[in-house]
Chain A
């Protein structure tokens, strides 16, 4: 009886602690890739709304913006020595890894929440790469996961920016999602988490797509929809240019 009452009281307290809500907006819902595409920026604006019943916080708010690109299967291969040769002999398969991850926050995640809480909320690059699976005979090895994150960071596809969220007022924030030129095409999910003193208070989600536009879209569509014609056109273009060269540079 007493335990139930305690649980109820805790539940109420937890309910009160989640009184904040987030209102968020993205500067764009669709990013077209045109021939001059060399990257893009999507701005996130958000406001932490409090109602009258919200308790005053001793600590300031923390905000984490998590951006996940389209998920896909990834193979991490390791070269090792085989006689005189270095060959890809070992590999691990990771299913449903986001092709792009960007973690923007107002301060380092480590100082914001405990590792258990970060794992639970899936905050940070490591929490977003699912343990690889599919086959039991492929044990997970931390060096493969580490290599995946390291290589993707090097390509600018996994980004962690602990100064990426800027508070304009104590409850109003903005962040800039920077997409590289080689940004993968597809659907991007944007999740915003608000924490205070290591406790999650509210979340909100939105998303945008990156798609080919203009000439790029038409070329890509032609290559998929009429592949024979597309191949023939490419070959004829080449033969035509080769023929033009014999006319232009004719040595008489």
Chain B
């Protein structure tokens, strides 16, 4: 059943989009992530222009983070103060990201920037997660517990000025590294069409020692609002948001996420991190082949201006 997408300006099968939404939603629900880093490449693969893909699926991430935010809110597993601090940085980063996106599009380098950023970002996050997951997997097998930090020990960035207390998480850290992290994730989110949960969650756990019980809910505060903001900013400045595309992806993802969440509860912690790391590495490898393997077709054509 073909349906013409009004902004992407091409006909596409509705079932393909619903299916892609459901598949990404399932994986997202399983790992507690939005799945943007899977959805954007899939959309580009089926022929949606990269700009439209990035801008439209920010809405789908907003939907999945709404669902999980409400669920964590009901269980009171959110550090509202930390979430709001992250959100402020995220909005700034998102604004910078949309401006960067528009400029790269203007000079015709948006596609390359998206590919290379995916390789660098997903590659580094995926590999470090993979190493960490393999080490803890081996430790669990040998029955050794992971080395833990003692109470008085602090990393250098936690002692920077503008310290703030976050009672719900039980941490007392400088706002400087927190802001840098949230601005960076907001920026990457707007440029790559990702929520950034897969960077935010490990960063909060390992760098700031936010308790695991509140970390996902708290990061969802930032993801939801930056994605809502990114959707509006993309629509207002580059007119690349396709409402119909966003609707179909969201409907698919909302259903897929529910089944994914159920499947995720049966996963063991070490398996969970290992699988997620492998998934991220696989997407990075897919983008890496784009720039590392000799292409069968060396030429590409881009329309840069159209007189109508």
By a beta-carbon cutoff of 8 Å, the part of chain A in contact with chain B is 33-39, 70-81, 84-88, 91, 93, 99, 143-144, 147-148, 150-152, 181-182, 184-187, 212, 215-217, 219-220, 222-224, 227-228, 230-235, 237-239, 241-246, 249
- Residue of B whose beta carbon sits closest to that of A88: B112
Contact residues in B for A77 (Cβ distance below 8 Å): 299-302
- Contact in complex: A76, B298 (CB < 8 Å): no
Return the contact of A35 from the options B3, B228, B291 (Cβ within 8 A).
B3
Return chain A residues, CB-CB under 8 Å to B4. 33-38, 181, 216
Question: Nearest Cβ distance between residue A250 and chain B, in whole angstroms?
Answer: 9
CA distance A249 to B247 in the complex (A): 19
Q: Determine the chain B residues whose CB is within 8 A of the CB of A185 once the complex forms.
A: 9, 308
B243 CB–A CB distance under 8 Å? yes
Q: Which residue of A lies closest to B247 (CB)?
A: A237
Q: Which among B11, B231, B308 is the interface contact of A235 at CB below 8 angstroms?
A: B231
Tell me which residues across on chain A come within 8 A of B234, comparing CB atoms. Answer: 231
Give B contacts to A, CB under 8 Å: 2-4, 6-7, 9-11, 56, 59-60, 62-67, 70-71, 108, 112, 224, 227-228, 231-237, 239, 241, 243-244, 246-247, 250-251, 254-255, 257-258, 290-295, 297-308
Inter-chain pairs besides A231-B232, A238-B228, 16 sampled, C-beta below 8 Å: A77-B301, A86-B292, A87-B291, A147-B298, A151-B299, A151-B301, A187-B308, A223-B239, A223-B241, A228-B236, A231-B241, A233-B243, A235-B232, A239-B224, A245-B254, A246-B66
The distance in angstroms between the C-alpha atoms of A76 and B300, with both chains bound, is 6
Residues of B within 8 Å of A230, CB to CB, are 235, 241, 243
Main secondary structure of the interface of B (DSSP, over half): helix
12 contacts between A and B (CB under 8 A): A36-B4, A71-B307, A77-B301, A78-B298, A79-B300, A86-B292, A151-B297, A181-B2, A223-B243, A230-B235, A238-B63, A245-B255
Which B residue sits closest to A247, measured CB to CB? B70
Residue of A nearest to B57 (CB): A238
Contacts of B250 in A (CB 8 A): 237-238, 241-242
Closest residue of chain A to B119 (Cβ to Cβ) is A85
Nearest 8 interchain pairs by C-beta: A231-B235, A242-B66, A147-B299, A72-B306, A231-B232, A242-B63, A181-B11, A238-B63
